[in-house]
Structures are given as structure tokens and as C-alpha cells.
Amino acid sequence: MDKLFIHLTDEEQVECLLVPEQNPLSIRQLRVSLSDAAGYGHGRQIVVLVPSERVILTEVTVPTSNRQRQLQAVPYLLEDLLVEDVDQLHFALGSYQGGKVAVAAVAHEQMRRWMNQLAKAGIQTKFMVPDLLALPFSEGAWSIMLTGDVAKVRTGLQSGFSCDAENLPVILEQALEQTGENRPRHLRVTDCRDKPDLTLEAVLPQGLEYQVAGCDQGVLALFVQGYQDESSHSINLLQGQYSQRERLSKLWRPWRPAAALLIALLVVQGVMAGVEYQRLSAEKERLAKQVVENFRQGFPEIKRIVNPKLQAERSLKSLRGEGGGVGLLALLADTGPILQSLPDARLLGISYKEGKLILGMQLKNLQLLDELEQRLKQKSSLTVEVLSASSRNKHVEARIKIGAGR
């Protein structure tokens, strides 16, 4: 991912450097306002370098490798070594090696000031590193940068200090005395001063080899050359309450009660929906049984019920005579008025099968049966056949088959 480096200072204009991932040597250096710098950060990893003069870098012996316990122990272990009250300081941890952990300490007030600067400009970052930990480093050599009246010294992967340039000889000599066998073989010095008040001989200790380089590409370009993403090469100050996770948690915290209420409402709604679903399922099952029962009552001749709706529609079409032929209703419409016009003719039974209407009739005499047959035959839409006729109890009982005419 492309990177945007921002060197955060107290000035309104800040130095920025765009470093493409595919071509790290093709960098673009800018000096813009912090708000304008935010526009260059879209889609890029933002690394913020802060003045190491505001940060104390040290190490402390701790009896545990557990990070949480280290965080709890470090303030008390450093309490006697720091001028400020440890409650007013933020501690960020580096690597743990040989029973010692690297520590960066900075005032909470300063951290809040930096965070507010970034937030006001609309900049979000996961990385905030003391600038001297971005100086080029190699084993056996210390890196020194002289800029303005400040000296920045990187003595290790996660160690170093900043001081006034005029005090560098004394402080550097003290630091060298504490190295013991790890004394550097030489110093790498980058002089970024425009008009130095002191010569290099005046600010560097005697008896130690050093190489001097210019600062033609600018201070930030030198930092970028030495910066490495690996956590073992620097200390990220955005830990604990200043980490991105904790900052998001702070933004989320005021909404937690409302979110909890919303979740509770969703749970209640879900339970109610489940209960309603069960009720509707039971109602659906009851109605399905009722449909089958009603179907059997209406169409008792159909024994196998698969799809009541479709089967009922087909049966009704058959009764209406749809799909070819004349149905039951049409035959009844033609025969009904004739039967009603004969008061001495009584209907005993009726059946319908294969498009034929079978009437069971009781008539006063054979002459009335002949009259009924003739009147039915007069209907061109009907075919009439007397299936049987017999006299019984001074009446004639007959079975007449009526079909559709041609």
C-alpha cells in the first residue's frame, strides 16, 4: 500500500512525503497545511512522525513477558526516574528482550494535543512514531541528526534521545559510557542545520570516528529512508487508550445503552414473530384439514385427494360441461322446467355419470310417461331413452336416461 508520511510539528505547515508501494524511490515531497495533507491520505497508509523532544525513550527490567502486566508495572518501575507524575504520562511499550522492555513515555496532554490536531484535520492513522526512531540504523553505529538547535540520536532499534545541540557532547559522552561492550564503532551524522552556530567538532565527542552526510533531500526524506514497519524497529505511541480500537470504543460507548435496548427490542420482536408464525402454521394446518373435509362432502366420488383446489376446479368444469360435451347443470336447465310443468310426475332420484343424467320418476300412468318422453324429445339439445317402466301401487315408476343432443 502507498504510504503518506506526515512530520507533525507545532507549525501550521507540515512536511509530507508520498511513497508509492511499487516504486519507493519515486517519492513526492510536500509542505502543506494539515487539512490539505488529509486529502493526500485517502487510500494510503498514514504514518505520523512526532518530535522526539517530547518523548522519553528508555528501557526497564520487568519480571514478566505478559504485555498487560508490563503495562501495569512500568509506571511504578519508572516513577523515581521521571520528573513528571506518572499519572500524567502515557506509556507505550516496545520489544521485550533479555528481561527488559523498551518504553516510550509522553505526557497525556501532549498526546491529546497531537490527536486533536489530526482529528481536526480529518486524519485517522494507526501509526504514530517518535521521529528519531525513523533515523537510519545499523548495528555498531549510532545515527545523529542535527536540525536547528536540536540533536536527535538513535542508539538502537527502539532507543535514543533528543537534546539541545550545545549539550550533545556531554549527554553523548554519558550515553557512550553506559554502553560498556556495546559501544558503537562510529557515528553517522546528518547535518540539517541551515546556519549552524556550532561546528561539528564542537558538538561531537573527541576520539570517535564519524561520517557526515548532508541533508539535501530534507529532514523527512531521511526519516522515510530509515523507517521500517516492523514493530521491533520502532515504538508505536498509539497504544492503550490512544489505539484505534480504543478510540472507536470511546465513540461507541455512549451508544451502547441504545444499542442494548435495540437488541432487546429485536429479540422481543423475534420471539413474537416466532409465536405468530407458530399460530399461523397451526391455523394453516386447521384450514387445510377443513378444505379436505369440505371437498370430501362436495365430491364424495373422489377418493384420492392430492390438490383439492385443482381437483375441485376440474370437477366443476365437468359439471358445467366445459372442455367438451354438455354438463350436469346444462341438462338440469333443460329438463327442470318440463318436470315442473307436470304436477302428476314426481322425481324419485337423480344421478349423473359420464355425461348422462339418470332420472328416477313416479308418474300417474303410462300416458303421462309417454307425454314426458315426447316433451323431452322435443328439446333438440337432449337425447332421451326410457330405460325401464313398471306399474306399482296404481303408479308407474320409470328410469329415464337423458343426454346431450347432437
The CATH number of residue 132's host domain is 3.30.420.380
Per-residue HEC secondary structure of 187-201 comes to EEEEECCCCCCCCHH
Q: Which residue, 285, 304, 320, sits at the end of a domain? A: 320
Indicate whether 238 pLDDT > 90. Answer: yes
Assess whether 127 and 205 both reside in one domain: yes
pLDDT in tens, 62-97: 989 898 999 999 999 998 888 889 999 999 999 999
Assess whether 342 and 306 both reside in one domain: no
Burial 160-171 (b: 16+ CB within 10 A, else e): bbbbebeebbeb
Name, in order, each residue with C-beta under 8 angstroms of 347's C-beta and a sequence gap of 6 or more: 339, 359, 360, 361
| Cβ neighbours, 10 Å, residue 50 | 20
Provide mean pLDDT across the span 35-64. Answer: 92
Indicate whether 397 pLDDT > 80. Answer: yes
Work out the pLDDT band at 114, boundaries 50, 70, 90: very high
Provide mean pLDDT across the span 35-48. Answer: 91
Q: What is the mean pLDDT of the chain?
A: 85
Does residue 248 belong to any structural domain of this protein?
no
Indicate whether 127 pLDDT > 80. Answer: yes
- CA angle 232–238–239, rounded 5-degree value: 80
Burial 85-104 (b: 16+ CB within 10 A, else e): ebeebbbbbbbbeeeebbbb
State residue 148 phi and psi, 5-degree precision. 60, -125
265 or 7: which carries more pLDDT confidence? Answer: 7
Instruction: State the pLDDT at residue 110.
Output: 95
300 or 104: which carries more pLDDT confidence? Answer: 104
Indicate whether 104 pLDDT > 90. Answer: yes
Indicate whether 247 pLDDT > 70. Answer: no
For residue 211, give the 3-state DSSP assignment. Answer: strand
Does residue 138 belong to any structural domain of this protein?
yes
Assess whether 313 and 340 both reside in one domain: no
Instruction: State the pLDDT at residue 323.
Output: 45
Assess whether 63 and 177 both reside in one domain: yes
Assess whether 310 and 400 both reside in one domain: no
Does residue 247 belong to any structural domain of this protein?
no
Assess whether 156 and 261 both reside in one domain: no
Assess whether 196 and 260 both reside in one domain: no
Does residue 152 belong to any structural domain of this protein?
yes
Assess whether 84 and 146 both reside in one domain: yes
> Distances in Å between the alpha carbon of 374 and those of 106, 377, 385, 391, 403?
120, 5, 11, 20, 15
Q: Which residue, 273, 296, 320, sits at the end of a domain? A: 320
Does residue 90 belong to any structural domain of this protein?
yes
Residue 200, Cβ density class (10 Å: 0-12 exposed, 13-18 middle, ≥19 buried)? middle
Output DSSP code: residue 181: G
Does residue 188 belong to any structural domain of this protein?
yes
Assess whether 70 and 203 both reside in one domain: yes
For residue 135, give the 3-state DSSP assignment. Answer: coil
Share of the chain above pLDDT 90, in %: 31
Which CATH number do you get for residue 361? Answer: 3.30.1360.100
**Domain region containing 378:** 328-404
Q: Which residue, 287, 320, 353, sits at the end of a domain? A: 320
Kindly report which listed range (11-25, 114-128, 160-174, 356-370) carries the lowest average pLDDT score. 11-25
- Could you tell me if 235 and 57 are in contact, meaning their C-beta atoms sit under 8 angstroms apart? yes
Instruction: State the pLDDT at residue 406.
Output: 60
Indicate whether 324 pLDDT > 50. Answer: no
- Could you tell me if 344 and 364 are in contact, meaning their C-beta atoms sit under 8 angstroms apart? yes
2 or 354: which carries more pLDDT confidence? Answer: 2
Assess whether 230 and 333 both reside in one domain: no
β-strand pairing of 3-7 with 150-156: unpaired
Does residue 249 belong to any structural domain of this protein?
no
Assess whether 90 and 191 both reside in one domain: yes
Instruction: State the pLDDT at residue 198.
Output: 65
Assess whether 115 and 151 both reside in one domain: yes
172 or 198: which carries more pLDDT confidence? Answer: 172
pLDDT in tens, 362-392: 998 989 989 888 988 888 778 889 999 998 8
Domains in the chain, number? 3
- Could you tell me if 55 and 38 are in contact, meaning their C-beta atoms sit under 8 angstroms apart? no
And the C-alpha cell for 87? 499519572
